[in-house]
Chain A
Amino acid sequence: MNETELANLMRLARTGDRRAYEELLRGLVPVFKSYYLRRVRDYLVEVDDFIQECLLAVHQRQITYDVTRPLLPWVYAIARHKLIDRFRARKEVLNLSDIDAAVSGYDSEPALSAKLDVETLLDHASPKQKTAIIATKIRGESIAEHAVAAGVSESDVKVSVHRGLKALSSFVRRKA
């Protein structure tokens, strides 16, 4: 689920929509999971604890989310706070030699904003073109790999990527 879908679910949940709220919480589970799997390699058994703590924090403190702002930075801020709090409670320190590894997967706000911009931009391509662009240009899969995974021909993938990029560039030119 992307930023837009999650933010829409949060808006619906705030109107008391129970189904949207459940979908939102379920949609946040993989977000928290990927966040912690990259950062707490030494405590993999605790990832579920972290996820539950974060879901509870979202539940109890959702009033602090400002609907005029993107949702994911708020969600990541909660995840980051819970992680720091756990380290603080254990009085753990990080060796300076480990610092590069610790910050390598860090979602800084500019990086996150860039990611959100790309997601928003890709919404202007068709779903098929979007999937092809994400697979080949962002995840780095080859045309052949994506063709097999998507069950389409290689030329189909090439055409989707080409048309998708063309649509995005004309959208950017229009906005500029």
Chain B
Amino acid sequence: MTNIDEFVSALSSQPPKGGENAAALRLAIGLAMGVAGAVVFLVLFDAFYGSGAQAIDFDTPVWKIAYSLALAFSALVVTLQFASPETRTSRRHLLAFAPVMMMAMIAMTELFTSPPETWLRLMFGYGVTSCVTTIFIISPPIFAGMFWAFRRFAATDYKTAGAAIGALSGAMAGALYAAVSGEASACFVFLWYSVSVAATALAGALAGPRFLRW
């Protein structure tokens, strides 16, 4: 018996489990674990440093959370596209620009219908630093959940897949932060949530080659 014969026999003693939806299930578990971890991080971060978080305010504008979730959905589509080894030409990643463009239009409308002396307040709100920092600090559990899911996936473009995971992590962290943040300006959300997602995407692109190699 050759080495390969022995190897095949050893592998085939454990046939695959999980059926057709195993990939989606694994991704959902990774994401759910990550989001749960991010909630814990948010509570701890707020308890120790104060993130500007408030009790969940049901008057919080829904569009704030919707913007983050739309970004997360776009990032999820791109993430799935790069989870398989096959190169597929698709323009799905352009989806990510749809919520950004829409939010940019809302922000511009808000800005130009407000008196100029309020513009700085609209753009910088009451806590730019706490917004960007909190989103960046609570996103690692989502990164970890997604990297765990990718241990059974087969990304070949590590940087892009990492960036997509980073954007997804940042956007989901943004959705959590949006539920507890008091900022209600569209300009603020557009600028700083987008910057936070871009920062986590950059972190993901840097981490990808290290954690996604197989």
Contact = CB atoms under 8 A, between A and B. Distances in A.
Interface of A: 13-18, 20-22, 25-26, 29, 48, 51-52, 55-57, 59-67, 69, 73-74, 77-78, 80-81, 85, 109
Given A61-B214, A63-B18, A25 B11 contact: yes
Contact of A77 (B8, B9, B18, B87): B87
Interface stretch (B19-27, B39-47, B165-173): B19-27
Nearest to B25: A63
Interface string B1-20: 00110011101111111111
B154 interface: yes
A85 B3 CA distance: 23
Given A59-B11, A64-B153, 19 more contacts: A13-B16, A14-B18, A14-B20, A17-B15, A22-B8, A52-B3, A55-B7, A59-B16, A61-B85, A63-B16, A63-B22, A64-B83, A64-B85, A67-B20, A69-B86, A73-B86, A77-B85, A77-B87, A78-B85
Contacts of A13: 15-16
Nearest to B89: A109
B20 A55 contact: no
Contacts of A73: 86
A65 to B, nearest CB: 8
28 contacts: A13-B15, A15-B19, A18-B15, A21-B11, A25-B8, A25-B11, A25-B12, A29-B4, A29-B8, A48-B4, A52-B3, A52-B4, A55-B11, A59-B11, A59-B16, A61-B85, A61-B152, A61-B153, A63-B16, A63-B22, A63-B23, A63-B152, A64-B153, A67-B20, A74-B85, A77-B84, A77-B156, A81-B85
B4 A22 contact: no
A61 B15 CA distance: 12
A104 B97 CA distance: 39
Secondary structure of the A contact surface, majority rule: helix
Contacts of B85: 61, 64, 74, 77-78, 80-81
A133 to B, nearest CB: 29
Interface residues of B, number: 29
Contacts of B214: 57, 60-61
Q: In the complex, which of the residues A60, A63, A67, A81 has the most CB atoms of chain B within 10 Å of its own CB atom? A: A63
B203 to A, nearest CB: 22
A78 B85 CA distance: 6
B154 A61 contact: yes
Contacts of B3: 48, 52
A64 B23 contact: yes
Contacts of B19: 14-15
A95 to B, nearest CB: 24
